[in-house]
Chain A
């Protein structure tokens, strides 16, 4: 509270005359910042969303754990990407010089791409949920930025893949790239407003709900482990 409340001189030395304001003044005072009808449902939805995010991270003394888990889980995505781009042993043994167009065309394993994309989207959803929950407290910008950079790299690989033919997934990955890029640029001494702006951008684009719609429950490695 401010100084005017803690100043010892404000303590009443004795009985103060407790004269109410004149009725006309009191009536005018009661118009001061008269509140509108409270948006009860909207506020309740926001509270519940925040509570769900909080339950996901289960705050404790080792608050770095969820972040580290999310970052570590990225390795799994990396492995997936690696497998996706791994040269096929058959083509490895094929003659180096080949004039046929089929030799130059990349092999596209759509099922593997789809699985890897889902895994990436699941990791991103887990990460953004953690980030969103940490907006109010802050203090983990460096780790958030590093994790966002790793996710961004994976995101770009997926976007550049010849298997990225599904328009809906492409749009989602492109929008996700913008959010991840903003978090990746977050400075270690970021102000609460910086984090809040990113959160607002996420909310405006419905990023988390779109990710949750796209990713089947139980897809991500971190889900349920944090």
Chain B
């Protein structure tokens, strides 16, 4: 069933269609929210809020993008706004100045690449981090990211380029291996 038909059934009040729409997209929404927020419990709240908003606004969906991309836009908005309101995003940002410092440590001193990568990604500015997580971690295309974030695809590419550069610098000792 295509998006248009499913949406039509939801708008007509078919509860099974609501469930179908939810089942078709919930995993992707939850994954993205979890990746961005870093907190599965909050991601659960954000996922619920995403679908509540989506069902509320479904009549406004014009089909200019795929339903999944539209949901992705709501997910990012809900998650980032949620993080902002909790002031957690600011706490998580270690600061750009600190990110290169992380990379100057020796491998022996901090051998856990996963931990170092997590810290380095957390240290990225929010815009860079969002694009990097969406593209390199979750596999969204630049076009999807651009639609979701309301920017040009070129901006998404530039953000990704800069994010990767910062991560390479932060993890230079690992990159050489």
A2 contacts which of B26, B30, B125, B161 (Cβ < 8 Å)? B125
Size of interface on A: residues with Cβ below 8 Å to B: 40
| Contact B155 A32, beta carbon cutoff 8 Å | no
| Contact B159 A43, beta carbon cutoff 8 Å | no
| Contact B136 A21, beta carbon cutoff 8 Å | yes
| Contact A4 B158, beta carbon cutoff 8 Å | no
Query: In the complex, given contacts A5-B131, A38-B26, what are 11 additional A-B residue pairs having Cβ atoms less than 8 angstroms apart?
Result: A1-B127, A12-B161, A21-B136, A21-B164, A33-B34, A33-B118, A33-B133, A35-B30, A35-B34, A42-B44, A43-B26
Task: List chain B residues, Cβ under 8 A from A1.
Answer: 80, 127, 130, 149-151
- Across the A-B interface, give the 5 residue pairs with the lowest CB-CB distance, nearest first: A4-B127, A35-B34, A38-B30, A28-B117, A12-B154
| Contact B174 A24, beta carbon cutoff 8 Å | yes
CB distance from B114 to the nearest CB of A (A): 5
Tell me whether A46 is interfacial, beta carbon within 8 Å. Answer: yes
CB distance from A44 to the nearest CB of B (A): 6
CB distance from B142 to the nearest CB of A (A): 9
Tell me whether A160 is interfacial, beta carbon within 8 Å. Answer: no
Provide the B32-70 mask, 1 if CB < 8 A to any CB of A, else 0: 001111101001100111011001100000000000000
In chain A, positions 1-52 with a C-beta closer than 8 Å to chain B are: 1-6, 10-12, 16-22, 24-26, 28-33, 35-36, 38-40, 42-44, 46-47, 50-51
Tell me whether A194 is interfacial, beta carbon within 8 Å. Answer: no
B interface majority secondary structure: helix
| Contact A47 B52, beta carbon cutoff 8 Å | yes
Task: List chain B residues, Cβ under 8 A from A24.
Answer: 113, 174, 177
Q: How far is the CA of A50 from the CA of B35 in the complex (A)?
A: 25
Tell me whether B98 is interfacial, beta carbon within 8 Å. Answer: no
Asked if A47 meets B51 with Cβ closer than 8 Å, knowing A1-B80, A2-B127, A32-B35, the reply is yes
Q: How far is the CA of A2 from the CA of B36 in the complex (A)?
A: 14
Provide the B96-129 mask, 1 if CB < 8 A to any CB of A, else 0: 0000000000000000011011100100011110
